[in-house]
């Protein structure tokens, strides 16, 4: 945050994009996707204003992750489409694999299981082909969760075990997500001791990260586990904690949703006001054109009248001249006749 204040001139302004993006990533790891979204949006704004050392597809992709976690999959897909287009244009297969992974998550939120699984598979294939270990890990975990939601616990556990075999430094969020999902799979499979060990690890990791969503899910699963074991006091303890944390989570999400709706309403009102102004300007322009046409018509009409008067006057003068000449001729002829009589 201190570094942001120093990025005021020249090329240093380009660093703002990276700084905002990095702060957004920190908030994501902590599960604070409201703050994460704010920072990623600032990163995009900074990139458009000052440029960016980071690829635009990366920025769109990062923002999409936070939006999907806020249960805004349609908005997430909007940015993922942009990210996919740019990644393909730039042959950025590393980001493309992650984009497909995140598209799978967005479609999972939209309850489109077939589309979700298809994108997870695409992410797995690209990651395996190019050796993208972190993306492969997260895509395997997501595919495992897909199988878990479909009631296929054996297939889910197989994916989690495959992810375990990856030798790489894994993002702490996905590492804990795999532990949590594995605990849920073993719980559904009836292996309570294995589930208890994994969920205890998940609880510790979620507390360390301050990840409220993972804490809610872990307490929910632990309550279910202890109920299955017949330890009702512990089941009640975890259920009570889950409800307390869930209430806090919903308040945060509601506050963000209200702010989001207010922002959209303000934007819509601004668009409406702009449209009204444009309509007024258009009407004024049309009125001005009509006025100018009337003025032009009057000027042209007046000009025609003047021309007609001039032509008529000239014609009258010519006729008068001819008449005068005829009178003179008659007078001359009369004089000649008089002279003959004399």
Tens of pLDDT, residue by residue, the chain (342 residues): 555 555 555 566 778 888 899 999 888 877 788 899 999 999 999 888 888 888 999 999 999 999 988 889 999 999 999 999 999 999 999 999 999 999 999 999 999 999 999 999 999 999 999 999 999 999 999 999 999 999 999 999 999 999 989 988 887 878 888 999 999 999 998 999 999 999 999 998 888 877 788 888 899 999 999 999 999 998 899 888 888 887 766 665 554 444 444 444 454 455 456 556 666 666 676 666 666 666 766 666 665 665 566 666 666 666 666 666 666 666 665 555 455 544
CA–CA distances in Å: residue 101 to residues 66, 182, 183: 14, 19, 22
pLDDT for 259? 46
> What does the angle CA 138 – CA 108 – CA 18 come to, to the nearest 5 degrees?
50
Structure tokens at 138: 């997260």
User: CA–CA separation, 245 vs 287, rounded Å?
Assistant: 62
Alpha helices in 8-152 (DSSP H): 15-29, 33-50, 56-69, 73-89, 93-109, 113-130, 133-149
pLDDT for 267? 46
Residue 139 · residue 103 · CB < 8 Å: no
CA–CA distances in Å: residue 255 to residues 118, 210, 250: 34, 19, 8
Structure tokens at 94: 């590393």
pLDDT for 96? 95
Helix (H) or strand (E) holding 92: none
Q: Which of 226, 245, 247, 248 is nearest to 236 (CA)?
A: 226
User: CA–CA separation, 183 vs 156, rounded Å?
Assistant: 11
pLDDT for 137? 94
Residue 87 · residue 103 · CB < 8 Å: no
Helix (H) or strand (E) holding 296: helix 232-341
User: CA–CA separation, 291 vs 286, rounded Å?
Assistant: 9
Report the sign of the C-alpha dihedral through residues 236, 242, 245, 249, in that order.
negative
């Amino acid at each position: 945050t201190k570094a942001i204040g120093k990025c005021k001139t020249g090329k240093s302004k380009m660093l703002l994009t990276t700084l905002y993006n990095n702060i957004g990533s920190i908030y994501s790891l902590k599960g604070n996707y409201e703050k994460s979204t704010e920072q990623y949006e600032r990163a995009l704004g900074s990139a458009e204003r000052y440029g960016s050392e980071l690829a635009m597809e990366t920025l769109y992709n990062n923002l999409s992750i936070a939006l999907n976690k806020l249960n805004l999959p349609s908005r997430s897909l909007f940015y993922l489409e942009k990210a996919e287009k740019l990644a393909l244009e730039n042959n950025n297969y590393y980001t493309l694999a992650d984009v497909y992974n995140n598209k799978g998550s967005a479609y999972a939120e939209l309850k489109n299981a077939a589309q979700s699984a298809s994108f997870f598979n695409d992410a797995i294939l690209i990651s395996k082909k190019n050796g993208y270990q972190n993306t492969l890990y997260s895509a395997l975990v997501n595919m495992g969760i897909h199988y878990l939601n479909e009631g296929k616990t054996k297939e889910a556990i197989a994916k989690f075990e495959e992810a375990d075999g990856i030798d790489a430094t894994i993002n702490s969020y996905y590492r804990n997500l795999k532990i949590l999902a594995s605990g849920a799979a073993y719980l559904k499979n009836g292996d309570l001791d294995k589930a208890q060990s994994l969920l205890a690890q998940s609880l510790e990791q979620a507390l360390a990260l301050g990840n409220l969503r993972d804490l809610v899910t872990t307490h929910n699963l632990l309550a279910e586990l202890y109920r299955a074991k017949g330890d009702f006091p512990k089941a009640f303890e975890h259920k009570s904690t889950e409800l307390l944390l869930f209430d806090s989570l919903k308040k945060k999400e509601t506050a963000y949703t209200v702010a989001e709706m207010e922002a959209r309403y303000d934007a819509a009102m601004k668009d409406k006001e702009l449209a009204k102004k444009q309509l007024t300007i258009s009407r004024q322009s049309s009125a001005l054109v009509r006025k100018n046409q009337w003025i032009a018509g009057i000027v042209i009409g007046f000009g025609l009248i003047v021309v007609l008067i001039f032509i008529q006057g000239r014609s009258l003068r010519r006729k008068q001249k001819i008449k005068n000449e005829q009178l003179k001729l008659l007078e001359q002829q009369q004089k000649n006749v008089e002279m003959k009589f004399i």
